Chain A
Amino acid sequence: MYRWDFSPVIANGDLLLAGLANTLALTGVALAGGIPVGLGLALARLSGSRFLSAPAGVVIEVFRATPPLVQLFWFYFGLPIVLKVEMTPYLAAALTFTIQSGAFFAEIFRAGIVSVDRGQREAARAIGMTEAQAMRRIVLPQAVKRMFPAMMERSIELMKTTTLVATVSYADLLYQANELAQKTFRPLEVFTAAALMYLVSISLVSAIAALVERRMAMSGEMAR
């Protein structure tokens, strides 16, 4: 029978927590960047002009149909060669996940905007609003409510995808766990602890998201 011993884990708990903090920080940065990128891509995709919609389409399809790990390696190992810039793991990760999540958000935004009844845009135009005003005042506010569940889901996926940065030696939770496991020769306890930390964080965020969704659905009944 294996003798479980979590003491090395607890002794180095601060390292693991620091890793978790880095995971959350990276997720936050990628979200903060990915949402505006996604909105921009979605609006470009929806615009009438080929000049905008075609490149946006390419970015979206490429970043959705290629594995995130390949993207990360490309940005970390490949890009510095072309651009001749210093690339840190953090920078490569931030860049990769901002664009990658942006591509997924773009599809969510697009679906949300398209789901708003055509008549709403027409009524807004009929009283003299420009396209921009119609989008800002009438269509987007209605679209946001519908997109919220999908956005929360995608954000939680992002939290899990950030573990990939451990492969380029960024000190996130998984990286710290791996280092610790090798140092203490206790991979079972360490990885189990790390898994639990992820489980708790993600379950918490999911629960909060579900709560907010329910709250939004209720207010939606009144404001519809």
Chain B
Amino acid sequence: MTYRWDFAPILDNWQALAFGAIGTVRLFLVCLVLGLSLGLLVALMRRSRHGVLRWLAIGFIELFRNTPVLVQILWFYFALPMLAPVEISPFGAAILGISLNSAAYSAEIYRAGIQSIEPGQWEAARAIGMTGLQVLRRIVLPQALRRVLPALTNRGIEIFKMTTLASVVAYVELLQQGKLVASLNFNPLEVYTVIGALFFLLLYPLVRATYALERRLARSDA
């Protein structure tokens, strides 16, 4: 098994990979912001007294949690243009798929966080005359968000990993560039090892940070 590893071609093509990395980060940031904010909106709709809003939210969550992200991305890329007279770029399809998917997951995270706040908090705030919205904004959400921060960070890590799916519609991110470099130099082993290592080097510290965050929150909550 004396295979001679040769990372030189990868170093030669570092610019292509760097370009891909930028694409990855760009996609990640957009989906993170869109996904997590839309998720909060959906979570609030889920709790609404109005049946229509509630059922819309439930339908959205069930649909986007119970179908695979890749199917969603491909649907937006291939199927949506048939319905609506729009041009969907790979970037656009990836954003739609990943953000909506993440919104559905984070909606459930927010919901769990809000529900975990004892009714006593609501009662005390209402008792001094706050409206429901004020209670949410000033009392419940600040506490709920703190509690679910680890879960949200986890979701962020998942979103980062999901950006690789955009390579399926040829969006220029790290894996897509990797495929290119591998096909040019016939060295998939080294290429995918490097790409895996790059993701790991970036994500592992985030994973550890999440553990530390969880521990810090557990201590201060107790």
Residues of chain A having any CB pair with chain B under 8 Å: 2, 61-62, 64-71, 73-74, 77-79, 81-84, 160-161, 163-164, 166-167, 174, 177-178, 181, 187-188, 190-192, 194-195, 198-199, 202-203, 206
Taken together as a complex, chains A and B put the C-alpha atoms of A194 and B72 apart, in Å, by 10
Q: Which of B42-50, B113-121, B139-147, B189-197 binds A?
A: B189-197
Contact status of A174 and B74, CB under 8 A, knowing A69-B165, A74-B192: yes
| Chain B 43-95 interface residues, beta-carbon cutoff 8 Å to A | 62-63, 66-72, 74-75, 78-80, 82-83
Chain B contacts of A84 at CB under 8 A? 1
Show 10 A/B contacts (Cβ-Cβ < 8 Å), sorted by A. Answer: A66-B196, A66-B199, A66-B203, A69-B167, A70-B164, A78-B188, A187-B82, A191-B78, A192-B75, A198-B68
Known: A65-B200, A71-B196, A192-B79. A81 touches B188 (CB 8 A): yes
B71: contacting residue among A68, A69, A82, A174, CB under 8 A = A174
Give per-residue flags for B161-180: 1 if the beta carbon is below 8 A from chain A beta carbons, else 0.
11111011000000100110
Residues of A contacting B3 with CB < 8 Å? Answer: 81-82
**Which of A77, A163, A178, A203 is in CB contact (< 8 Å) with B182?**
A77
**Interface contact tally, CB-CB below 8 A:** 120
- Other than A69-B167, A191-B71, give 12 A-B pairs with Cβ distance below 8 A: A62-B196, A70-B196, A70-B199, A82-B189, A163-B68, A174-B71, A178-B74, A188-B78, A191-B79, A195-B72, A195-B75, A199-B62
Q: Are B74 and A191 within 8 A (Cβ)?
A: yes
CA–CA, A178 to B183, complex, Å?
23
For window 171-222 of B, CB contacts with A under 8 Å fall at 175, 178-179, 182, 188-193, 195-196, 199-200, 203-204, 207
Closest A residue to B75 by CB, please name it: A191
B192 touching A198 by the CB < 8 A rule?
no
Asked if A187 and B78 sit within 8 Å, CB to CB, the answer is: yes
Nearest B residue (CB) for A204? B66
In the assembled complex, the Cα of A2 lies from the Cα of B182 at a distance in Å of: 41
Return chain B residues, CB-CB under 8 Å to A69: 164-165, 167, 175
* Alpha-carbon distance between A160 and B157 when the two chains are bound, in angstroms: 17
Closest residue of chain B to A156, judged by CB?
B66
- The main secondary structure of chain B at its interface with chain A is helix
Chain B contact residues (Cβ within 8 angstroms of A): what range? 35 or more
Q: How long is the Cα–Cα vector from A177 to B70 in the complex, in angstroms?
A: 12
CA distance A174 to B196 in the complex (A): 25
Closest chain A residue to B174, Cβ basis:
A70
| Contact A65 B68, CB 8 Å, known A77-B189, A188-B83 | no
Across the A-B interface, the 9 shortest Cβ-Cβ residue pairs: A77-B188, A78-B189, A187-B78, A160-B68, A67-B161, A188-B82, A65-B203, A74-B192, A67-B164
For A202, give the chain B residue with the smallest CB separation: B66
**Which residues does chain A contribute within 8 Å of B157, judged by CB atoms?**
65
Judging by beta carbons under 8 Å apart, are B67 and A78 in contact? no
Closest CB in chain A relative to B157 CB, distance in Å: 8
The CA-CA distance from A77 to B83 in the complex, in Å, is 37
Residues from chain B with a CB closer than 8 A to the CB of A81 are 3, 188-189
